Amino acid sequence: MKYFLCILLTAFCLTQADAQKQKVIFDCDLGGDIDDAFALALLLTSQEEVEILGITLDHGNTPGRGEMAMKLLYETGMDHIPVYLGDHTPSVVGEQTDLEGPSAQMIWSGGFDRILPEQEHAADFMIRMLNRYPGEVILFTVGPVDNIAVMLDKDPDILKKAKRVVSMFGSIEKGYGGGEPSAEWNVRGNISAGKKLMRSGANITLAPLDVTDHVIIGDDYLTAIAMRNTPLTDALGSLYALWYRHADWAVTPKMYDAVAVGMVLWPDLFTTGEAFVYVDDGGYTRIDENREPNCSVGVTVNDRDFIDRMARRILEQDFGK
């Protein structure tokens, strides 16, 4: 991998010695694949290290995604965390794939209205937070980057005010199933938005398929979570059951989005490199070896230790009781 300038640890390692919790925003497409729910659960169980400024929903049926987020926060006693919706998009940009209706996971939260999302648009909320806390906020993006594109259309320099943008995004040397590089979903879902992200000048870290596609939570941990009987584990168990029952793809619970969160929480489990990455018209993330790097890229991950640490956090919490 001659295009990588290899480094062993990311520069934003969180330690107990930090004077303040790391401010984060979590931008996701909760309710699609199951990994969004586990990534959010990992963030919620990591509040000794992070302060969650807000959760933003993007792409497809954002009102349905919002109901899921609100119910999860309500039942775990975390409803002080605000939720913001992005645009409700009826289809994948440039394709005819329908995104209008509810996903199977949304059965769990359909019609939930005890608490409601904020009225402010997700992009406006993120712009406001980055202007309020310049250089202090880590912005996670773990879905198609629709909200990011709206932000950049309003203020082309806004992402430069983030401490870091950490994205489950792209496919560098490996694709789905470990095969050839793929047009990864979070890029393909809105290719023009992905191009804007990679041209934004932000301090970007990518968690591509190379370090996410093979990180799988096994039946032993899933069984333990199902038996734990807390509001958070009950929610995860229900969402997993609905996803598994109705998924029309290979039902392997890969923790794509949770890995992006883990890159901030546990950088000791990763190696990263630097490269200039751009998005082509087909939704592929390409390397230009002749240009100076514009991002850090996940190269390797210790799968087993990551899953163990994530599962332990989820199992050891007692939210909502």
Any residues with CB less than 8 A from the CB of 150 and at least 6 apart, and which?
86, 87, 121, 122, 123
Superfamily designation of domain 22-316: Ribonucleoside hydrolase-like (3.90.245.10)
3-state secondary structure string across the chain: CCCCCCECCCCCCCCCCCCCCEEEEEEECCCCCCHHHHHHHHHHCCCCCEEEEEEEECCCCHHHHHHHHHHHHHHCCCCCCCEEECCCCCECCCCCCECCCCCHHHHCCCCCCCCCCCCCCHHHHHHHHHHHCCCCEEEEECCCCHHHHHHHHHCCCHHHHCCEEEEECCCCCCCHHHCCCCCCHHHHCCHHHHHHHHCCCCCEEEECHHHHCCCECCHHHHHHHHHHCCHHHHHHHHHHHHHHHHCCCCCCCECHHHHHHHHHHCHHHEEEEEECEEECCCCCEEECCCCCCCEEEEEEECHHHHHHHHHHHHHHCCCCC
pLDDT tens-digit map of 267-299:
999 999 999 999 999 999 999 999 999 999 999
**Beta 83-85 vs 137-141: how paired, if at all?**
unpaired
Instruction: Please give the average per-residue pLDDT across 166-175, as a whole number.
Output: 97
C-alpha 76 chain-centroid distance: 20
What's at 33, amino acid-wise? D
pLDDT score, position 90 = 63
Q: What is the pLDDT of residue 249?
A: 56
- Over range 212-229, report the average pLDDT: 96
Per the listing, tokens 């402010």 go with 120
pLDDT tens figures, 188-200: 999 999 999 999 9
Across 40-51, average pLDDT = 97
**Overall residue count recorded for the chain in this entry:** 321
pLDDT attached to residue 319? 87
- Claim: this prediction has a pTM higher than 0.85: yes
What digits encode the pLDDT tens for the residues 126-148?
999 999 999 999 999 999 999 99
Q: Is the pLDDT of residue 7 over 70?
A: no
The tens digit of pLDDT for each residue in 8-33 reads: 444 444 444 445 899 999 999 999 89
Q: What is the average pLDDT across 204-226?
A: 97
Mean pLDDT confidence for 197-215: 98
